[in-house]
Amino acid sequence: MIERTDDVFAVLETPLSPDAIAEAVDDPGAGGVVIFSGIVRNQTDGRPVKFLEYEAHAPMAEAKMREIGGAIRARWAGVRRVAILHRVGRLEIGEASVLIAVSAAHRGDAFEACRYAIDTLKRTVPVWKKEHFEDGEVWVGLQGG
Amino acid sequence: MRVRVRLFARYREATGQERLDVDVPEGGTVETAWKAIVARHPDLSRYRPYTLFAVGHDYVEPDHRLAPDDELCLFPPVSGGASRSGASAEASGEMIENTSASCRPFDG
């Protein structure tokens, strides 16, 4: 699923693997890897969530993820590899919807770049989720966070 | 000229369509295309203030000039800007039946 020859940016319909994304950013020059995992929460403002559906404009989403990767490499010289994966389709409580991994020579760059990646993703990447409750459903963007 | 339109999320559900084609005059803009879309799906008109547009892999403004066979995408808000966040809450409130939920930050 994941190539190790370059940075990885993908929208997938299959479960996301933290082990696989860690491997994707493996680099002999890295002294640290930071992984962010966004998971499906069991409630929204106290309202129980049954499950979520994610939808994306996949090619544009991958292009926007690639832009994030480029911005990271321009800003943090110590970053070695970047991987961003977003899942679409039906996700159950506790499943990962997004995984971001950054390896860097030193931990500071890895933490900062990973934080930048998830914050930017939520503003720019065309992905939406539909929250399914017991008594209704609602489309929401990835805003805020 | 013909412009291809793709509808996502609530726009797809509101129209029951993922794709449609509209004819706009040469030199037409995103706004021109929007008017052609709304002529066919009047229900969409109330979402205009909250709609994001994209052509190719980039967001575009309503005055963006379209080219033949461009693919124009209609998105609900993605961005977390304060004004947009408030706008999207209103949009959702209108769109949703049987629920009082509205847009909110996704901090998963």
Q: Is residue A2 part of a domain?
A: no
User: Is the CB of residue A131 less than 8 Å from the CB of residue A49?
Assistant: yes
In B, minimum Cα distance to A53 occurs at B9
Cα separation, A85 vs A100, in Å, equals: 6
- Tell me, what DSSP letter sits at residue B45? G
- For residues B52-74, average pLDDT: 94
DSSP H stretches of helix in chain A:
18-24, 58-75, 107-124
Distance in Å, alpha carbon of B42 to nearest chain A alpha carbon: 20
Most confident region among A75-89, A131-145, B75-89, B92-106 by mean pLDDT: A75-89
- Structural domain including A16 reads 8-142
pLDDT-derived band at B50 (thresholds 50, 70, 90) equals confident
* Chain A residues within an 8 Å CB radius of B56: 60
Distance from CA of B28 to the nearest CA of A (A): 23
Q: Supply the pLDDT for residue B69.
A: 83
The answer to whether residue A15 is domain-embedded is: yes
Asked if A46 and A101 touch (Cβ cutoff 8 Å), the reply is: no
As a dihedral over the C-alpha atoms of residue B12, residue B17, residue B23, residue B24, rounded to 10 degrees, the angle is 0
CB–CB contact B9 A130 (8 Å): yes
Quote the pLDDT of residue B100: 29
C-alpha to C-alpha distance for B2 and A82, rounded to whole angstroms:
39
- Residue A19's CATH number: 3.90.1170.40
Give me the residue from B54, B101, B105 closest to A145, CB to CB: B105
- CATH domain B2-78 topology: Ubiquitin-like (UB roll) (3.10.20)
Q: Is pLDDT at B21 greater than 60 in this prediction?
A: yes
d(CA A104, CA A61): 24
List the strands of the sheet with B58-60, edge to edge: B19-23, B2-7, B71-75, B52-55, B58-60
CA angle B94, A64, B86 (to 5 degrees): 25
**Residue A138 has what pLDDT?**
85
pLDDT, tens digit, for every residue of B73-103? 999 876 433 333 333 333 333 333 322 233 3
In which band, very low, low, confident or very high, does the pLDDT at A6 lie, cut at 50, 70 and 90? confident
Task: Give the amino acid at A53.
Answer: E
Phi, psi for B5 (deg, rounded to 5):
-125, 135
pTM for the model: 0.83
Answer yes or no: do B104 and A130 touch at CB < 8 A.
Answer: no
Confidence check on the interface: ipTM exceeds 0.95, yes or no: no
Tokens of A86: 């977003």
E strands present in chain A: 8-12, 32-39, 43-44, 47-56, 79-87, 89-91, 96-104, 127-133, 136-140
- Nearest residue on chain A to B59, judged by CA atoms? A124
In this structure, is residue A1 part of a structural domain?
A: no
- pLDDT tens-digit series, residues A22-65: 999 999 999 999 999 999 999 988 899 999 999 999 999 999 99
In angstroms, rounded to a whole number, what is the distance separating the alpha carbons of residues B50 and B45? Answer: 10
- Domain assignment present for residue A34? The answer is yes
The string over B48-60, giving b where at least 16 C-beta atoms fall within 10 Å of a residue's C-beta and e elsewhere, is eebbbbbbebebb
Task: With respect to residue A3, please indicate whether it lies within any of the assigned structural domains.
Answer: no
CB < 8 Å from B in window 39-68 of A: 39-41, 44-45, 47, 55, 57, 59-60, 63-64
Structural domains in chain A (count)? 1
A21 within some domain: yes
